[in-house]
Homo-oligomer: A and B are copies of this chain.
Amino acid sequence: MSLLVVGSVAIDSVETPTDRRDDFLGGSATHFSYAASFFTQVNLVGVVGDDWPEEHTELFRSRNIDVSGLQKVDGGKTFRWTGRYEPNMNDRETLEVQLNVFGEFDPKVPEKFQDARFVFLANGVPAVQQKVLSQAPACQLAVADTMDLWIVEHRETLDALLKNIHGLVLNDSEAKLLTGEENLVTAGLKVREMGPEFVIIKKGEHGAMFFGHNAAGQVEVLVLPAYPTQAVIDPTGAGDSFAGGLMGYLAEQDKHDAETFKTAMAYGTVVASFNVEGFGLDRMEQISREDIDERLAAYRKMLNF
């Protein structure tokens, strides 16, 4: 089952306490697509400038990611992001953002993608996310990511969007900001009342929480820890690769019941644990589905008592 993702494709530069890399492939939709491509065919909609290195397009193609929806704006420049991580490798500072062509992004979902049943709206302006939804009439599972900026400054359109999506993915501080609740269980349940059937709160190095319902319609709350790794090189894109692993698995299974969601959360966790082990997609390019399944088995064993 193919999966549609719409969001940022970027050129990133990242500084960590011990290293620095410049001008590599990044962006929410990039990390999502690559992660999901281990599980299913991915259709990508995004925008780049004419500074875009063709080799990145080739990388997507090599992963069976359809780039027909990747618009190229002549005379424009690709979205650029530069960030620096604190010694704890969890907190980060954005040093520079050049929105460039992403600032005017008006996503056009190609006709051949419009039968998409699984749709991920990567972090972006809620009004733009909403626009994508109207171009995906066959969508059965629409999941959106969001961020503090939209919660504070685009609250009305975000509230409207929440009523039209099935799932929302956000991090712990965003969940607190959106609900005014400090307890994450309370916050997650409260976001659900704003519209989405299910909510996923990402807690970085502490894992993720799921709020949904089981087959009997009862509320179900799950918490899974992150897979323990010492090799945290670059956490950028961890949340998007988590979402990619999760949605990729759901699309592969063509199901989204509570049990499948739980396994999907575990796959998302494991894929994200690989993503942080290198700058950009470095580590992801070294692994196969077998590596993911092997780590999933270790993760399952760890949680089984």
Q: Which of A259-302 contact B (CB under 8 A)?
A: 259, 262-263, 265-266, 300, 302
Question: How many A residues, CB 8 Å from partner?
Answer: 35
CB-CB under 8 A from A228, the residues of chain B are 184-185, 209, 221-223
CB-CB under 8 A from A223, the residues of chain B are 207, 225-228, 302
CB-CB under 8 A from A266, the residues of chain B are 305
A171 → B minimal CB distance (Å): 14
Asked whether A186 lies within 8 Å of B89 as measured between CB atoms, the reply is no
Q: Which of A162-219 contact B (CB under 8 A)?
A: 182-186, 189, 203, 205-207, 209
For this chain, the copies found in one complex come to 2
Asked whether B304 lies within 8 Å of A232 as measured between CB atoms, the reply is no
CB-CB under 8 A from A62, the residues of chain B are none
A229 → B minimal CB distance (Å): 7
Q: Which of A73-103 contact B (CB under 8 A)?
A: 87-89
CB-CB under 8 A from A262, the residues of chain B are 305
CB-CB under 8 A from A229, the residues of chain B are 185
A1 at the interface (CB under 8 A from B): no
Binding site for B on A (CB under 8 A): 87-89, 182-186, 189, 203, 205-207, 209, 221-230, 232, 259, 262-263, 265-266, 300, 302-305
Could you show 6 A-B contacts with beta carbons less than 8 Å apart? Answer: A183-B230, A203-B206, A206-B206, A206-B207, A266-B305, A304-B304
